[in-house]
């Protein structure tokens, strides 16, 4: 990007490295940029179908202040900020293989919009570089031409803004930033520095050269001050000092005081003991020093004492803002670990019990005896209940922050502890019974053979693999693809098992059928020697055998068809509602049902039916009314028939 490099070297650009907080997917990053808050991992799921952002944000503040905003690019912005833009053109981000048209649809608006004067803020979100990274990685030969294309677009915008500054008294500001980075493998889950570090450029003729490391959440506070807007209520970012260094000392202190007041108010809302926080104490000291500086300033003191005091207050504010932002960031990212641990223990116990039941439940006998009575009345159960209740009391009385599990009633908490203890005792009892059965000699090898089949291993591996895959944000976005793969694999394995069970004749079955046939021939020879007619017996036996073979054959083909019927049903269910990053844009049956034309056709059909019923009711009522004469009755009948036919 030669033009951008020239701007940085010339000094008309402030370049920073913006550090993003995980999760580093598009929707949470846009939310962080515009609100200054730190999103949670639930926003990874919301990234698939982004709802409107109701939290206080920069776009809402700009619209409230009368700013005219135009947007072109990723339609996630349109979903997050509906009715906020005076003009917009959203492009879908689900065509990952497209890195040309998705950017051309944004660039085609530039020539016309840059000549206009009816907007205050212009937002462009290009997707081509992100799509190339997903397809071929950040070291792809496609990255170079795409960066050169972005550099030319940046040059066009900057040149147009410079030409407008000749007719305006205020300089324009051009911001270039990325919502997330990219790893060497083409993903951005947030597990490496390459995925969380993004460039941030402030390009303006009023700036001097400086390189710093800032937080991505600082952008919202800095933009709010620059645009003369209130800082977002939940923002945890600081004003980037180098952006406001060109202002007077009074204005700089005023901006820092506004930022500190907003952070201290947010701290009061989220921390009961906010007065003991070091950042709050530093802010109060800086606020007091700021008051002394204002007194000297109003007295007209322009000596070196005023300048030195101003620099001292500036440092105090910066130190207070840094501590306040750090405290709030820790507070936002602090989770209820105790409640999460209790829920995790219950889920793991249930999962382990299901895994113990699975091999027996899938066997030919399909039975598994879970020992309930002995564990529930054992000494271990009561000891575990007492121990867990003691731990609950210790945690709830010593926890500094509010815990959800500690806020529920004691009766419910004791019930949860009893459930955990009961599940643990049942699992231990089931383990003991399995070990006891494994040591006993096998009386019937055909029945006592409890070795796991290939199907059991497949189901166990699929269940564990799916649970492990939920630890990565990329797998969470495409979780349905994992389900499709596991269902298809399971159906094919079932089909193989059915073919092996019904269509492969075992050696013992051949020997048994040969022995039965030989015995029947011996019986027939004996009967002939004794002049006994066995034709009737033979016919009856043949009928029974043929009916049994028919039932067995129908069962055989029904079993073989079952996996394929399941696959067809799954395919139909998949077409009802497309989902995922790459498939959500595809038309499906749900979209067809909610189309405007289909809804209008349904309402028209419903209206015709209601109108027809109303006309027929009116017709029957008119026929029941005594008429004044045959001519009048004929007119009424003709009128009703005309209404019914309309």
Average pLDDT, the chain: 75
Predicted confidence at residue 55, as pLDDT, reads: 81
> H/E element holding 228?
none
Average pLDDT over residues 227-250: 85
Task: Pick 534 or 176 by higher pLDDT.
Answer: 176
Q: Classify residue 12 by its DSSP letter.
A: S
- Residue 48: pLDDT band with limits 50, 70, 90: very low
| Res. 637: pLDDT tops 50 | no
Average pLDDT over residues 311-332: 86
Q: Domain segments of the chain: what residues?
A: 2-243, 247-334, 337-451, 453-589, 595-645
d(CA 455, CA 453): 5
Predicted confidence at residue 258, as pLDDT, reads: 92
Neighbours of 453 (CB within 10 A): 13
Task: Pick 27 or 362 by higher pLDDT.
Answer: 27
- Residue 137: pLDDT band with limits 50, 70, 90: confident
| Res. 628: pLDDT tops 50 | no
| Res. 445: pLDDT tops 50 | no
Predicted confidence at residue 476, as pLDDT, reads: 72
Buried b (16+ CB within 10 A) or exposed e, 146-177: beebbbebbbebbebbeeeeeeeeeebbbbbe
d(CA 259, CA 221): 7
Predicted confidence at residue 392, as pLDDT, reads: 87
Q: Number of helices (H) and strands (E) in the chain: give both, helices first.
A: 28, 7
Alpha carbon dihedral 210, 216, 217, 220, in 10-degree steps, equals: 70
Main-chain dihedrals φ then ψ at residue 594, nearest 5 degrees: -100, 10
Task: Pick 68 or 359 by higher pLDDT.
Answer: 68
| Res. 497: pLDDT tops 70 | yes
Predicted confidence at residue 74, as pLDDT, reads: 85
Closest CA to 191 of 410, 22, 354: 22
| Res. 508: pLDDT tops 70 | no
Predicted confidence at residue 520, as pLDDT, reads: 47
3 state DSSP class of 15: strand
3 state DSSP class of 353: helix
pLDDT digits (tens, 9 = 90+) for 257-284: 999 999 998 888 887 778 888 888 899 9
d(CA 115, CA 104): 19
Helices 2-10 and 143-165: crossing angle in degrees, nearest 10, is 50
- What is the CATH architecture assignment of 2-243? 3-Layer(aba) Sandwich (3.40)
pLDDT digits (tens, 9 = 90+) for 597-623: 666 776 677 776 666 655 544 444 444
Predicted confidence at residue 255, as pLDDT, reads: 92
Average pLDDT over residues 68-73: 91
Which residues are CB-contacts of 223 (< 8 A; sequence separation ≥ 6)? 58, 175, 229
Which residues are CB-contacts of 528 (< 8 A; sequence separation ≥ 6)? none
- Residue 208: pLDDT band with limits 50, 70, 90: low
pLDDT digits (tens, 9 = 90+) for 331-346: 766 677 888 889 889 9
Q: Classify residue 38 by its DSSP letter.
A: P
Find which of 36-50, 55-69, 164-178, 353-367 is predicted with most confidence, using mean pLDDT. Answer: 55-69
- Four-residue CA torsion sign, 60, 61, 66, 71: negative
Buried b (16+ CB within 10 A) or exposed e, 541-562: eeeeeeeeeeeeeeeeeebbee
| Res. 446: pLDDT tops 50 | no
Task: Pick 580 or 431 by higher pLDDT.
Answer: 431
| Res. 578: pLDDT tops 70 | no
Q: Which CA distances in Å does 372 have to 413, 423, 425, 428?
A: 22, 9, 9, 11
13-19 vs 210-215, strand pairing mode = parallel
3 state DSSP class of 453: coil
pLDDT digits (tens, 9 = 90+) for 23-33: 677 777 888 88
Residue with tokens 């030409």: 163
Cβ atoms 30, 218 nearer than 8 A:
no
Average pLDDT over residues 368-374: 56
- Four-residue CA torsion sign, 572, 573, 576, 578: negative
Average pLDDT over residues 13-42: 77
d(CA 177, CA 214): 12
| Res. 643: pLDDT tops 80 | no
Six-digit token string for 117: 């004067």
d(CA 514, CA 512): 5
- Residue 354: pLDDT band with limits 50, 70, 90: confident
| Res. 347: pLDDT tops 80 | yes
Length of the chain: 646
The percent of residues in the chain predicted with pLDDT above 90, rounded, is 4
| Res. 373: pLDDT tops 70 | no
Predicted confidence at residue 448, as pLDDT, reads: 45
Average pLDDT over residues 497-509: 64
Find which of 210-224, 507-521, 543-557 is predicted with most confidence, using mean pLDDT. Answer: 210-224
- Residue 525: pLDDT band with limits 50, 70, 90: low
Predicted confidence at residue 634, as pLDDT, reads: 46
- Residue 254: pLDDT band with limits 50, 70, 90: very high
d(CA 592, CA 601): 12
d(CA 496, CA 473): 34
Cβ atoms 380, 425 nearer than 8 A:
yes
Q: Which CA distances in Å does 204 have to 34, 53, 226?
A: 21, 30, 12
The percent of residues in the chain predicted with pLDDT above 70, rounded, is 69
């Amino acid at each position: 990007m030669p033009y951008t490099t020239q701007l940085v070297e010339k000094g008309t650009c402030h370049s920073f490295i913006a550090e993003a907080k995980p999760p580093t997917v598009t929707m949470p990053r846009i939310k962080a940029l515009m609100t200054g808050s730190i999103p949670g991992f639930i926003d990874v799921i919301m990234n698939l179908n982004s709802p409107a952002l109701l939290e206080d944000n920069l776009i809402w503040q700009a619209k409230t202040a009368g700013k005219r905003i135009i947007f072109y690019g990723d339609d996630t912005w349109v979903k997050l900020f509906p009715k906020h833009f005076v003009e917009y053109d959203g492009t879908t981000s689900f065509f990952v293989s497209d890195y040309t048209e998705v950017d051309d649809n944004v660039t085609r608006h530039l020539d016309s919009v840059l000549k206009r004067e009816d907007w205050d803020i212009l937002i462009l979100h290009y997707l081509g570089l992100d799509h190339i990274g997903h397809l071929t990685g950040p070291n792809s030969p496609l990255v170079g031409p795409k960066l050169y294309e972005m550099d030319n677009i940046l040059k066009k915008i900057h040149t147009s803004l410079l030409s407008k500054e000749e007719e305006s008294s205020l300089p324009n500001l051009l911001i270039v930033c990325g919502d997330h980075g990219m790893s060497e493998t083409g993903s951005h889950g947030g597990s490496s520095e390459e995925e969380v570090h993004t460039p941030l450029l402030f390009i303006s003729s009023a700036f001097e050269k400086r390189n710093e490391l800032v937080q991505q959440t600082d952008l919202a506070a800095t933009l709010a001050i620059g645009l003369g807007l209130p800082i977002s209520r939940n923002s945890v970012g600081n004003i980037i000092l180098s952006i406001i260094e060109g202002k007077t000392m009074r204005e700089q202190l005023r901006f820092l005081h506004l930022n500190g007041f907003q952070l201290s108010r947010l701290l009061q809302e989220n921390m009961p003991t906010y007065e003991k926080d070091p950042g709050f104490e530093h802010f109060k000291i800086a606020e007091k020093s700021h008051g002394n500086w204002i007194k000297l300033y109003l007295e007209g003191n322009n000596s070196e004492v005023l300048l030195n005091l101003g620099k001292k207050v500036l440092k105090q504010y910066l130190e207070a803002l840094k501590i306040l932002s750090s405290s709030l960031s820790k507070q936002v990212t602090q989770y209820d670990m105790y409640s999460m641990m209790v829920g995790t223990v219950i889920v793991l116990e249930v999962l382990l019990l299901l895994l113990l039941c699975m091999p027996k439940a899938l066997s030919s006998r399909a039975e598994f005896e879970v020992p309930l009575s002995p564990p529930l009345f054992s000494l271990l159960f009561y000891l575990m209940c007492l121990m867990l209740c003691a731990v609950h009391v210790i945690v709830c009385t010593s926890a500094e922050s509010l815990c959800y599990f500690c806020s529920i009633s004691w009766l419910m908490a004791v019930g949860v502890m009893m459930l955990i203890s009961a599940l643990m005792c049942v699992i231990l009892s089931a383990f003991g019974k399995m070990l006891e059965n494994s040591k006993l000699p096998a009386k019937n090898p055909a029945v006592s053979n409890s070795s796991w089949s290939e199907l059991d291993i497949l189901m166990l591996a699929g269940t564990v693999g799916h649970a492990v895959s939920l630890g990565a944000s990329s797998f969470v976005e495409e979780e349905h693809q994992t389900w499709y793969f596991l269902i298809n694999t399971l159906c094919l394995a079932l089909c193989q098992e059915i073919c092996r069970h019904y269509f492969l004749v075992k050696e013992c079955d051949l020997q048994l059928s040969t022995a039965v046939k030989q015995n029947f021939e011996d019986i027939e020879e004996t009967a002939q020697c004794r002049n006994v007619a066995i034709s009737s017996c033979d016919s009856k036996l043949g009928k029974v055998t043929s009916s049994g073979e028919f039932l067995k054959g129908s069962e055989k083909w029904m079993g073989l068809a079952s996996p394929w019927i399941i696959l067809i049903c799954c395919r139909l269910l998949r077409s009802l509602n497309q989902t995922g990053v790459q498939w959500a844009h595809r038309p499906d049956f749900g979209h067809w049902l909610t189309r405007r034309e289909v809804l209008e056709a349904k309402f028209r059909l419903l209206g015709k039916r209601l109108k027809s019923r109303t006309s027929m009711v009116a017709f029957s009522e008119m026929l029941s009314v005594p008429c004044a004469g045959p001519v009048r009755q004929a007119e009424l009948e003709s009128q009703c028939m005309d209404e019914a036919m309309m």
